Structure 1
Amino acid sequence: MFLVPLVVTTWQVAAHGPLRALDERLGRAAYAPSGAAHFFADLGNASVAVPVLAVAVGFALWRRQWRTAAAGALAMAAVPAVVVPFKALVGRVGPPAMAGAPHEFFPSGHAATAAVAYGAAALLLCRRRVWLWAVALLNVAVGFGLVRCGYHWPLDVVGAWALSGALLMCVARVRAGGWFVPTRPSPG
Protein backbone atom coordinates (compact mmCIF):
# COMPACT_ATOMS: atom_id res chain seq x y z
CA MET A 1 0.00 0.00 0.00
CA PHE A 2 2.75 2.48 0.88
CA LEU A 3 5.38 0.93 -1.35
CA VAL A 4 3.87 2.20 -4.62
CA PRO A 5 3.90 5.93 -3.68
CA LEU A 6 7.41 5.54 -2.26
CA VAL A 7 8.72 3.84 -5.40
CA VAL A 8 7.00 6.31 -7.75
CA THR A 9 8.17 9.41 -5.89
CA THR A 10 11.71 8.08 -5.52
CA TRP A 11 11.88 7.13 -9.20
CA GLN A 12 10.54 10.51 -10.35
CA VAL A 13 12.87 12.48 -8.08
CA ALA A 14 15.98 10.42 -8.87
CA ALA A 15 15.31 10.23 -12.63
CA HIS A 16 14.35 13.92 -12.98
CA GLY A 17 10.98 12.78 -14.30
CA PRO A 18 7.94 14.89 -15.20
CA LEU A 19 6.51 14.61 -11.67
CA ARG A 20 9.70 16.16 -10.32
CA ALA A 21 9.40 19.14 -12.67
CA LEU A 22 5.76 19.64 -11.64
CA ASP A 23 6.78 19.19 -7.99
CA GLU A 24 9.40 21.94 -8.22
CA ARG A 25 6.99 24.34 -9.95
CA LEU A 26 4.42 23.65 -7.24
CA GLY A 27 7.02 24.12 -4.51
CA ARG A 28 8.12 27.48 -5.92
CA ALA A 29 4.50 28.62 -6.22
CA ALA A 30 3.71 27.57 -2.64
CA TYR A 31 6.72 29.36 -1.15
CA ALA A 32 5.40 32.08 1.16
CA PRO A 33 6.82 31.73 4.68
CA SER A 34 4.60 32.92 7.50
CA GLY A 35 4.42 32.54 11.25
CA ALA A 36 1.84 29.76 10.96
CA ALA A 37 3.92 27.91 8.35
CA HIS A 38 6.99 28.08 10.59
CA PHE A 39 4.95 26.89 13.58
CA PHE A 40 3.71 23.80 11.73
CA ALA A 41 7.11 23.11 10.16
CA ASP A 42 8.65 23.23 13.63
CA LEU A 43 6.27 20.49 14.80
CA GLY A 44 8.38 18.17 12.61
CA ASN A 45 11.52 18.83 14.66
CA ALA A 46 12.70 15.83 16.66
CA SER A 47 12.95 18.05 19.75
CA VAL A 48 9.17 18.56 19.57
CA ALA A 49 7.83 15.30 18.13
CA VAL A 50 9.99 12.69 19.88
CA PRO A 51 9.04 13.78 23.44
CA VAL A 52 5.37 13.34 22.49
CA LEU A 53 6.10 9.77 21.47
CA ALA A 54 8.23 9.22 24.58
CA VAL A 55 5.27 10.12 26.79
CA ALA A 56 3.05 7.72 24.83
CA VAL A 57 5.65 4.94 25.11
CA GLY A 58 5.92 5.59 28.85
CA PHE A 59 2.15 5.39 29.20
CA ALA A 60 2.06 2.12 27.22
CA LEU A 61 4.78 0.70 29.47
CA TRP A 62 2.82 1.80 32.54
CA ARG A 63 -0.17 -0.12 31.11
CA ARG A 64 2.16 -3.10 30.60
CA GLN A 65 1.81 -3.02 26.83
CA TRP A 66 5.45 -3.96 26.31
CA ARG A 67 5.26 -5.06 22.68
CA THR A 68 3.30 -2.06 21.52
CA ALA A 69 5.61 0.33 23.38
CA ALA A 70 8.64 -1.38 21.85
CA ALA A 71 7.07 -1.22 18.37
CA GLY A 72 6.49 2.54 18.70
CA ALA A 73 10.04 3.16 19.90
CA LEU A 74 11.54 0.95 17.18
CA ALA A 75 9.50 2.71 14.49
CA MET A 76 10.91 6.05 15.64
CA ALA A 77 14.45 4.65 15.73
CA ALA A 78 13.94 3.36 12.19
CA VAL A 79 13.25 6.86 10.83
CA PRO A 80 16.84 8.15 10.83
CA ALA A 81 18.16 4.66 10.10
CA VAL A 82 16.19 4.62 6.85
CA VAL A 83 15.88 8.31 5.93
CA VAL A 84 19.57 9.24 6.20
CA PRO A 85 20.87 6.59 3.76
CA PHE A 86 17.87 7.22 1.49
CA LYS A 87 18.75 10.94 1.32
CA ALA A 88 22.39 10.16 0.55
CA LEU A 89 21.37 7.73 -2.19
CA VAL A 90 18.93 10.11 -3.93
CA GLY A 91 20.94 13.31 -3.35
CA ARG A 92 18.15 15.73 -4.20
CA VAL A 93 18.87 19.45 -4.23
CA GLY A 94 16.58 21.47 -1.98
CA PRO A 95 14.31 24.41 -2.76
CA PRO A 96 15.84 27.85 -3.47
CA ALA A 97 15.27 28.86 0.18
CA MET A 98 17.76 26.14 1.13
CA ALA A 99 20.47 27.16 -1.36
CA GLY A 100 23.90 26.10 -0.17
CA ALA A 101 22.58 23.25 1.99
CA PRO A 102 23.78 19.69 1.34
CA HIS A 103 21.97 17.90 -1.47
CA GLU A 104 19.96 15.57 0.74
CA PHE A 105 16.31 16.57 0.79
CA PHE A 106 14.38 13.46 -0.31
CA PRO A 107 12.61 12.14 1.73
CA SER A 108 11.92 14.78 4.35
CA GLY A 109 13.26 13.75 7.74
CA HIS A 110 11.06 16.31 9.48
CA ALA A 111 7.89 15.00 7.80
CA ALA A 112 8.89 11.40 8.59
CA THR A 113 9.70 12.27 12.21
CA ALA A 114 6.35 14.02 12.68
CA ALA A 115 4.37 11.26 10.96
CA VAL A 116 5.94 8.43 12.95
CA ALA A 117 6.11 10.21 16.31
CA TYR A 118 2.56 11.55 16.29
CA GLY A 119 1.14 8.54 14.48
CA ALA A 120 2.73 6.02 16.83
CA ALA A 121 1.68 8.12 19.85
CA ALA A 122 -1.92 8.03 18.64
CA LEU A 123 -1.71 4.27 18.09
CA LEU A 124 -0.29 3.78 21.59
CA LEU A 125 -2.71 6.08 23.40
CA CYS A 126 -5.98 5.97 21.49
CA ARG A 127 -8.43 3.34 20.38
CA ARG A 128 -10.70 5.67 18.42
CA ARG A 129 -10.08 6.37 14.75
CA VAL A 130 -10.94 10.04 15.18
CA TRP A 131 -7.52 10.55 16.80
CA LEU A 132 -5.79 8.99 13.81
CA TRP A 133 -7.63 11.42 11.55
CA ALA A 134 -6.57 14.31 13.81
CA VAL A 135 -2.95 13.14 13.58
CA ALA A 136 -3.26 12.86 9.80
CA LEU A 137 -4.47 16.48 9.63
CA LEU A 138 -1.62 17.55 11.91
CA ASN A 139 0.86 15.86 9.57
CA VAL A 140 -0.69 17.55 6.54
CA ALA A 141 -0.15 20.87 8.36
CA VAL A 142 3.49 19.93 9.08
CA GLY A 143 4.05 19.02 5.42
CA PHE A 144 2.35 22.20 4.27
CA GLY A 145 4.55 24.25 6.62
CA LEU A 146 7.72 22.55 5.35
CA VAL A 147 6.81 23.32 1.73
CA ARG A 148 5.48 26.81 2.44
CA CYS A 149 8.69 27.77 4.28
CA GLY A 150 10.78 26.40 1.42
CA TYR A 151 12.45 23.69 3.52
CA HIS A 152 11.29 20.86 1.25
CA TRP A 153 9.69 20.16 -2.10
CA PRO A 154 6.19 18.59 -1.96
CA LEU A 155 7.44 15.17 -3.16
CA ASP A 156 9.99 15.14 -0.33
CA VAL A 157 7.05 15.23 2.07
CA VAL A 158 4.98 12.67 0.13
CA GLY A 159 7.93 10.26 0.04
CA ALA A 160 8.40 10.68 3.81
CA TRP A 161 4.72 9.96 4.42
CA ALA A 162 4.87 6.79 2.32
CA LEU A 163 7.90 5.59 4.24
CA SER A 164 6.30 6.51 7.56
CA GLY A 165 3.07 4.79 6.64
CA ALA A 166 4.92 1.51 6.28
CA LEU A 167 6.50 1.94 9.72
CA LEU A 168 3.18 2.85 11.30
CA MET A 169 1.51 -0.19 9.75
CA CYS A 170 3.99 -2.30 11.69
CA VAL A 171 3.08 -0.54 14.94
CA ALA A 172 -0.63 -0.99 14.20
CA ARG A 173 -0.09 -4.66 13.46
CA VAL A 174 1.69 -5.21 16.77
CA ARG A 175 -1.01 -3.25 18.64
CA ALA A 176 -3.67 -5.43 17.06
CA GLY A 177 -1.83 -8.51 18.25
CA GLY A 178 -0.92 -9.65 14.76
CA TRP A 179 2.79 -10.13 15.39
CA PHE A 180 4.79 -11.52 18.26
CA VAL A 181 1.80 -13.29 19.75
CA PRO A 182 2.61 -16.77 20.98
CA THR A 183 0.51 -19.44 19.37
CA ARG A 184 -1.21 -22.20 21.27
CA PRO A 185 -0.81 -25.78 20.19
CA SER A 186 -3.90 -27.04 18.44
CA PRO A 187 -5.95 -29.59 20.36
CA GLY A 188 -5.85 -33.08 19.40
Structure 2
Amino acid sequence: MTVVGACALLLALLTWQVAVHGPLFHSDTGVDSAVLQAAARYRFLTPAAQFLADLGDIQVAVPALAAALGYAAWYRRRAGHARWWLPSACCALVMALVGPVIVPLKDLVSRPAPGSTVLLGHSGYFPSGHASTAAMACGLALLATLPLLRSTSARRLLVAAAVLLNGAVGAGLVWRGYHWPLDVAAAWCLSGVLLGLTRWWGSPG
Protein backbone atom coordinates (compact mmCIF):
# COMPACT_ATOMS: atom_id res chain seq x y z
CA MET A 1 0.00 0.00 0.00
CA THR A 2 1.32 3.42 -0.93
CA VAL A 3 1.88 6.15 1.63
CA VAL A 4 -0.97 8.16 0.10
CA GLY A 5 -3.32 5.22 0.37
CA ALA A 6 -2.29 4.49 3.95
CA CYS A 7 -2.79 8.13 4.97
CA ALA A 8 -6.16 8.28 3.24
CA LEU A 9 -7.30 5.07 4.93
CA LEU A 10 -6.18 6.25 8.36
CA LEU A 11 -7.84 9.64 7.82
CA ALA A 12 -11.10 7.89 6.93
CA LEU A 13 -10.81 5.72 10.05
CA LEU A 14 -10.17 8.68 12.35
CA THR A 15 -12.98 10.70 10.79
CA TRP A 16 -15.41 7.82 11.23
CA GLN A 17 -14.37 7.23 14.84
CA VAL A 18 -14.79 10.89 15.76
CA ALA A 19 -18.10 11.18 13.90
CA VAL A 20 -19.68 8.14 15.60
CA HIS A 21 -17.91 8.60 18.98
CA GLY A 22 -16.18 5.26 18.66
CA PRO A 23 -13.45 3.71 20.84
CA LEU A 24 -10.71 5.93 19.42
CA PHE A 25 -12.84 8.98 20.16
CA HIS A 26 -13.20 8.02 23.81
CA SER A 27 -9.48 7.22 24.10
CA ASP A 28 -8.77 10.60 22.52
CA THR A 29 -10.81 12.47 25.11
CA GLY A 30 -9.10 10.56 27.91
CA VAL A 31 -5.63 11.39 26.62
CA ASP A 32 -6.60 15.01 26.15
CA SER A 33 -7.90 15.28 29.72
CA ALA A 34 -4.62 13.90 31.05
CA VAL A 35 -2.63 16.37 28.94
CA LEU A 36 -4.72 19.32 30.11
CA GLN A 37 -4.25 18.28 33.73
CA ALA A 38 -0.50 18.12 33.18
CA ALA A 39 -0.58 21.52 31.47
CA ALA A 40 -2.35 23.01 34.50
CA ARG A 41 0.29 21.51 36.78
CA TYR A 42 3.31 22.58 34.75
CA ARG A 43 2.29 26.11 33.81
CA PHE A 44 5.90 27.14 33.22
CA LEU A 45 5.72 25.25 29.91
CA THR A 46 2.84 27.40 28.66
CA PRO A 47 4.94 30.03 26.82
CA ALA A 48 6.93 27.38 24.97
CA ALA A 49 3.77 25.46 24.05
CA GLN A 50 2.12 28.65 22.84
CA PHE A 51 5.14 29.49 20.69
CA LEU A 52 5.06 26.04 19.10
CA ALA A 53 1.31 26.21 18.49
CA ASP A 54 1.70 29.61 16.84
CA LEU A 55 4.08 28.12 14.27
CA GLY A 56 0.97 26.70 12.61
CA ASP A 57 -0.42 30.18 11.98
CA ILE A 58 -0.78 31.14 8.33
CA GLN A 59 1.13 34.34 9.09
CA VAL A 60 4.15 32.25 10.10
CA ALA A 61 4.01 29.15 7.90
CA VAL A 62 3.13 30.74 4.56
CA PRO A 63 5.94 33.34 4.51
CA ALA A 64 8.43 30.62 5.45
CA LEU A 65 7.15 28.45 2.62
CA ALA A 66 7.25 31.39 0.20
CA ALA A 67 10.89 31.97 1.06
CA ALA A 68 11.73 28.31 0.43
CA LEU A 69 9.84 28.25 -2.87
CA GLY A 70 11.44 31.49 -3.97
CA TYR A 71 14.89 30.12 -3.25
CA ALA A 72 14.12 26.88 -5.10
CA ALA A 73 12.88 28.77 -8.16
CA TRP A 74 15.92 31.07 -8.14
CA TYR A 75 18.31 28.12 -7.81
CA ARG A 76 16.69 26.21 -10.68
CA ARG A 77 16.69 29.27 -12.92
CA ARG A 78 20.35 29.90 -12.14
CA ALA A 79 21.10 26.25 -12.92
CA GLY A 80 19.46 26.62 -16.33
CA HIS A 81 16.35 24.47 -15.83
CA ALA A 82 13.88 24.94 -18.67
CA ARG A 83 10.83 25.00 -16.40
CA TRP A 84 12.50 26.40 -13.32
CA TRP A 85 9.27 27.91 -12.05
CA LEU A 86 7.11 24.75 -12.22
CA PRO A 87 7.98 22.99 -8.93
CA SER A 88 7.53 26.13 -6.86
CA ALA A 89 4.32 27.04 -8.69
CA CYS A 90 2.84 23.58 -8.09
CA CYS A 91 3.68 23.75 -4.39
CA ALA A 92 2.23 27.25 -4.06
CA LEU A 93 -1.01 26.15 -5.74
CA VAL A 94 -1.39 23.15 -3.44
CA MET A 95 -0.82 25.34 -0.37
CA ALA A 96 -3.59 27.65 -1.56
CA LEU A 97 -5.94 24.65 -1.78
CA VAL A 98 -5.41 23.50 1.82
CA GLY A 99 -8.11 25.76 3.23
CA PRO A 100 -10.81 24.83 0.67
CA VAL A 101 -10.04 21.15 1.32
CA ILE A 102 -9.98 21.21 5.11
CA VAL A 103 -12.93 23.53 5.84
CA PRO A 104 -15.61 21.20 4.38
CA LEU A 105 -14.19 18.35 6.45
CA LYS A 106 -14.43 20.51 9.57
CA ASP A 107 -18.03 21.33 8.67
CA LEU A 108 -18.82 17.66 8.11
CA VAL A 109 -17.51 16.46 11.48
CA SER A 110 -18.36 19.60 13.49
CA ARG A 111 -16.24 18.60 16.47
CA PRO A 112 -16.16 21.12 19.32
CA ALA A 113 -12.94 22.40 20.83
CA PRO A 114 -11.53 20.74 23.97
CA GLY A 115 -13.06 21.92 27.24
CA SER A 116 -14.20 25.53 27.18
CA THR A 117 -11.74 26.64 24.51
CA VAL A 118 -13.25 29.00 21.94
CA LEU A 119 -10.84 30.16 19.24
CA LEU A 120 -12.90 31.05 16.19
CA GLY A 121 -16.52 30.98 15.19
CA HIS A 122 -16.15 28.10 12.76
CA SER A 123 -18.06 24.85 12.96
CA GLY A 124 -15.39 22.32 13.84
CA TYR A 125 -11.89 21.57 15.07
CA PHE A 126 -11.33 18.24 13.28
CA PRO A 127 -8.88 18.13 11.61
CA SER A 128 -6.58 20.82 12.95
CA GLY A 129 -6.04 23.70 10.55
CA HIS A 130 -2.89 24.82 12.35
CA ALA A 131 -1.35 21.35 12.23
CA SER A 132 -2.28 21.03 8.55
CA THR A 133 -0.81 24.43 7.72
CA ALA A 134 2.48 23.63 9.44
CA ALA A 135 2.72 20.15 7.93
CA MET A 136 1.91 21.34 4.42
CA ALA A 137 4.31 24.28 4.60
CA CYS A 138 7.15 22.04 5.77
CA GLY A 139 6.30 19.25 3.37
CA LEU A 140 5.98 21.46 0.32
CA ALA A 141 9.21 23.24 1.20
CA LEU A 142 10.91 19.86 1.35
CA LEU A 143 9.47 18.77 -1.99
CA ALA A 144 10.80 21.93 -3.62
CA THR A 145 14.22 22.07 -2.01
CA LEU A 146 15.37 18.51 -1.25
CA PRO A 147 16.30 17.73 -4.87
CA LEU A 148 18.64 20.72 -4.78
CA LEU A 149 20.75 19.23 -1.99
CA ARG A 150 23.60 16.99 -3.06
CA SER A 151 24.40 15.65 0.38
CA THR A 152 22.36 12.69 1.58
CA SER A 153 23.08 13.59 5.19
CA ALA A 154 21.82 17.14 4.61
CA ARG A 155 18.58 15.83 3.13
CA ARG A 156 18.08 13.45 6.02
CA LEU A 157 18.78 16.20 8.52
CA LEU A 158 16.27 18.52 6.86
CA VAL A 159 13.58 15.83 6.83
CA ALA A 160 14.24 14.98 10.47
CA ALA A 161 14.02 18.65 11.43
CA ALA A 162 10.68 18.99 9.61
CA VAL A 163 9.28 15.91 11.34
CA LEU A 164 10.40 17.11 14.77
CA LEU A 165 9.03 20.58 14.13
CA ASN A 166 5.61 19.28 13.17
CA GLY A 167 5.57 16.95 16.15
CA ALA A 168 6.32 19.94 18.36
CA VAL A 169 3.57 22.03 16.76
CA GLY A 170 1.05 19.24 17.34
CA ALA A 171 2.16 18.83 20.94
CA GLY A 172 1.83 22.58 21.49
CA LEU A 173 -1.70 22.62 20.09
CA VAL A 174 -2.81 19.79 22.38
CA TRP A 175 -0.92 21.10 25.42
CA ARG A 176 -2.57 24.50 25.10
CA GLY A 177 -6.00 22.89 24.77
CA TYR A 178 -6.59 24.16 21.25
CA HIS A 179 -7.10 20.73 19.71
CA TRP A 180 -7.76 17.12 20.58
CA PRO A 181 -4.93 14.68 19.74
CA LEU A 182 -6.93 13.08 16.93
CA ASP A 183 -7.45 16.51 15.36
CA VAL A 184 -3.69 16.74 14.94
CA ALA A 185 -3.31 13.14 13.78
CA ALA A 186 -6.01 13.64 11.14
CA ALA A 187 -4.30 16.82 9.96
CA TRP A 188 -1.06 14.91 9.46
CA CYS A 189 -2.88 12.18 7.53
CA LEU A 190 -4.59 14.72 5.29
CA SER A 191 -1.26 16.44 4.71
CA GLY A 192 0.31 13.09 3.82
CA VAL A 193 -2.34 12.58 1.13
CA LEU A 194 -1.93 16.06 -0.32
CA LEU A 195 1.86 15.94 -0.27
CA GLY A 196 1.90 12.52 -1.89
CA LEU A 197 -0.41 13.69 -4.66
CA THR A 198 1.69 16.82 -5.12
CA ARG A 199 4.85 14.77 -5.54
CA TRP A 200 3.12 12.57 -8.11
CA TRP A 201 1.43 15.44 -9.98
CA GLY A 202 4.00 18.22 -9.89
CA SER A 203 7.15 16.10 -9.82
CA PRO A 204 9.14 18.86 -8.05
CA GLY A 205 12.19 16.66 -8.04
* TM-score interval (norm. to shorter): 0.7 to 0.9
1:168 has 2:173 as partner = no
Pairs within 5 Å for 1:123-138: 123-127=143-147, 128-138=155-165
Aligned sequence identity (%):
50
Aligned to 1:72: 91
* Structure 1 residue runs without a partner (length 5+): 178-188
Aligned to 1:11: 16
1:44 has 2:56 as partner = yes
Aligned to 1:149: 176
Aligned to 2:185: 158
In 2, Cα distance between the equivalents of 1:101 and 1:138?
24
Q: SS at 1:126's partner residue?
A: helix
Deviation at 1:70, TM superposition (A): 1.7
Q: Which runs of 4+ in 1 moved over 3 A?
A: 99-103
Using a 3 Å threshold, how does the CA distance of structure 1 residues 52 and 176 change in structure 2: closer, same or farther?
closer
Amino acid of the structure 1 residue aligned with 2:191? S
The question of whether the paired residues in 2 share the 8 Å contact of 1:23 and 1:154 is answered with: yes
Q: SS at 1:98's partner residue?
A: coil
In 1, Cα distance between the equivalents of 2:91 and 2:177?
30
* Higher helix fraction (1 or 2): 2
Pairs within 5 Å for 1:26-37: 26-31=31-36, 32=39, 34-37=46-49
The question of whether the paired residues in 1 share the 8 Å contact of 2:32 and 2:181 is answered with: yes
Aligned to 1:183: none
Deviation at 1:4, TM superposition (A): 1.3
TM-score by structure 2 length? 0.81
* Structure 2 residue runs without a partner (length 5+): 1-5, 78-83, 148-154
In 1, Cα distance between the equivalents of 2:116 and 2:159?
32
The question of whether the paired residues in 1 share the 8 Å contact of 2:86 and 2:204 is answered with: no
Root-mean-square deviation over aligned CA pairs: 1.7
